Structure 1
Amino acid sequence: MPATQTLDAAATAAQPSRRVALSATPDDKDMLRAAAELTRDINKARPEIYWPDMLLSALVGYGAMAGAILIDNAWLAVACAVVSVIALYRALLFIHEISHLHRNALPGFRTAWNALVGVPLLTPSFMYEGVHTLHHARTRYGTVEDPEYLPLALMKPWSLPVFLLVALLAPPALIIRFGILTPLGAIIPPIRKFSWERFSALAINPAFRRRPAEGEMKRRFFWQEVGASAWAMVLIASIFVLGWRPLLIAMAIMSAVAIFNQLRTLVAHLWENEGEVMTVTGQYLDSVNVPPPSPFAALWAPVGLRYHALHHLLPSLPYHSLGEAHKRICARLGTESTYERASYGSMTVLVMRIARSTMVRR
């Protein structure tokens, strides 16, 4: 039996005791030291990888979306839609890399991504910048101050389908956010404050309230929001020129992208922390790697997100280096290490684990 499957079975069997242990797990200093030492030579973002990957993903995604809208053959249109979902999903997830990029790394990449992907898909980078880093703050992860954490494994069984299905509403919600609330907020300050605090972050914690941006970020975010607002109003106006069909097809594709991302989010962590401050190792073990040979992880967790636990050890490591980093650390620490405990065999195993956890009586 593959090591990841063995670990999956063992983790499921020991789930209650492990849940208690994670909140008080001491740091594994050997693992932390190895992760830092073994990756020093691969910690620079390579423009020759970032730019073609992002541009090709966007080009394929929009081309396939156009095919889904314009082609009359139903089967070909559906095939185009599937390709569009996969490609735009990959292009969109570069927002995660942007949130970690040093301001001097990859000049122009953030601006180009916003112009080609973030604004057209109504998800400009300000919705993640200054938010996602809070999820990586050692004293915030898994607490009520973490915008990207809910103890899903400890909630009621109905919470999981609700968590997934709410993503279907993302496209119309974004059109309302930028096409209606942003213009209204420009003339009615309370609406501006409300939409910024509640609807300006890709957060899953309903208690999270975003604070006002400051300095250079405030200026940059302003222009991103203006661009997204203008595009949202163009989309609304397109109904009167092109009819409903193009917009509905595009929204269906983006709803599928949102569901994909929500499903990936569901299995990015074990969601077993009940609000306690955790060590770096505890955060790592509450996070998930789905390394090779899992055949589909590169599709549902692209741009390095199949190594999400490793990303929590090394948040600034570029996505193209995570696979090599994983190999090096595994070779150094061995199969019985703390590092290996965060590896799982598939999305299915993880979904079943979390679903079973919600059914445990408390």
Structure 2
Amino acid sequence: MNSSLAFTSRDAGGPADVQDATRRLPLADDKAMLRAAAELTRDLHVARGAIFWPDMLACVAVGYGALYAAMTAPTGWAILAGVIAVLALYRAGSFIHELTHIRQGALPGFRLGWHLLVGIPLMVPSFLYEGVHTLHHARQRYGTAEDPEYLPLALMKPWSLPVFVIVAALAPVAQLLRFAVLAPLSAVIPPLRRIVVERYSALSINPSFRRRAPEGAFRTMWLAQEIATSAWAIALVTLTATGVIPLRAFLVFLGVISAVAVLNQIRTLVAHLWENDGEQMTVTAQYLDSVNVPPPGLLAPLWAPVGLRYHALHHLVPSVPYHALGVAHRRLMKALGQGSTYDKASYPGLPGLVARLARSTMVSRG
């Protein structure tokens, strides 16, 4: 699904400040950093099932247990349980990012297990992300109009930031509409199917992104996931409408999904600096436009789970699994040191990043 609005950048005409001028200068690649990233992480590319499975299953157990408590407990306890459910299911859902990068067969059964426990129940099957997120990592696409996961938010109007976050709250409504209504209708209406595939089958933030129809084995996987998720969404609506599922339970479920989507959108807001206005960038420029929030920050694992706190590092070594990114970061910091190009992508926490982005949107550009 495309969850963003058609934001527009501000005019670049008129006098520009020094920061803007610097942004437009081409940035040469730091070859020493790129070489170190490749050499120091060669032994870290294996996804370890002994970490993936317990992590995901623990999140599922805590998340659904807390969700049930939120549906049934008195108000005060229900709120606390809801917060726990949001954090646990957000982490469980974040494994969709790992699924796009680990090779097929690397973790036997994990993809199926994740879909049965997380992707289908939360209505976020991985086909919405697989084949989309990899375009964001394509060297020639990052930060351009062809990047499904990029908007020059730092160059937009100040109101674009709160709208960017608030629109995510509508995610459960969009998901139900996508899978309970549009999917079955599009199966018998070919023109609608083309629209659904192009515009409502990607977890992207670029409103101009249009997805190509799937082919081959990926098409088979897509259809299996879509059919299963549609069946779940239709059953959920039907059972609620007939009173089998209490209305409160249904609304709590949608509220938790909405909160998960908002939290993820806030994380997305600070995953990059969003300072590129469509030009192709070197790998180093892409890295510096991305964000690491390494320790000692204690809250980052909550709002940027499953390795997402090392988002800039991930852009250097996208095939390194989440559980090895901390090791990779420490190795690179030891080898390259403070003040290096590598170090410049590290930030202390969420509030400062949000403030920086907000200030950037308010800078006068003529």
Q: Structure 1: how far apart are the matches of 2:251 and 2:18? A: 46
Q: C-alpha deviations, 1:98-138, integer Å up to 9, x for none? A: 01111121111111111110010000000000000000000
Q: Which amino acid aligns with 1:311?
A: H
- Of 20, 31, 39, the residue aligned with 1:16 is 20
The alignment yields a C-alpha RMSD, in angstroms, of 1.1
Q: Structure 2: how far apart are the matches of 1:210 and 1:320? A: 31
Structure 2 residue 232 is the aligned partner of structure 1 residue 237: no
Question: Match of 2:50?
Answer: 48
Q: Structure 2: how far apart are the matches of 1:253 and 1:19? A: 39
Q: Structure 2: how far apart are the matches of 1:14 and 1:45? A: 43
Question: Match of 1:3?
Answer: none
Question: Match of 2:265?
Answer: 262
Q: Structure 2: how far apart are the matches of 1:18 and 1:111? A: 47
Question: Match of 1:213?
Answer: 214
Q: Which stretch shows the higher mean deviation, 231-240 or 138-147? A: 231-240
Question: Match of 1:337?
Answer: 340
Divergent runs of 4+, >3 A: 13-18
Question: Match of 1:8?
Answer: none
Question: Match of 1:84?
Answer: 85
The number of residue pairs the alignment matches comes to 347
Give how far 1:18 is off. Answer: 4.3
Percent identity between matched residues is: 60
Matches within 5 A, 1:1-362: 15-21=19-25, 24-71=26-73, 73-239=74-240, 240-241=242-243, 242-362=245-365
Q: Structure 2: how far apart are the matches of 1:271 and 1:341? A: 16
Q: Which amino acid aligns with 1:245?
A: R
Give how far 1:198 is off. Answer: 0.6
Q: Which amino acid aligns with 2:302?
A: L
Q: Structure 1: how far apart are the matches of 2:134 and 2:223? A: 20
Q: Structure 2: how far apart are the matches of 1:20 and 1:160? A: 23
Q: Structure 1: how far apart are the matches of 2:32 and 2:24? A: 23
Q: 1:18 to 1:304 in 2, by over 3 A?
A: farther
Question: Match of 2:4?
Answer: none
Q: Structure 2: how far apart are the matches of 1:297 and 1:14? A: 31
Where does the alignment leave 5 or more consecutive residues of structure 1 unmatched? 1-12
Q: Which amino acid aligns with 2:37?
A: A
Q: Structure 1: how far apart are the matches of 2:28 and 2:122? A: 42
SS at structure 2 position matched to 1:59: helix
Q: Structure 2: how far apart are the matches of 1:359 and 1:47? A: 46
Where does the alignment leave 5 or more consecutive residues of structure 2 unmatched? 1-16
Q: Structure 2: how far apart are the matches of 1:59 and 1:279? A: 42
Give how far 1:15 is off. Answer: 4.2
Q: Structure 2: how far apart are the matches of 1:190 and 1:148? A: 26
Q: Which amino acid aligns with 1:39?
A: T
Give how far 1:43 is off. Answer: 1.4
User: Greater share of helix residues, 1 or 2?
Assistant: 1
TM-score for the superposition, normalised by structure 2: 0.93
Q: Structure 2: how far apart are the matches of 1:205 and 1:82? A: 29
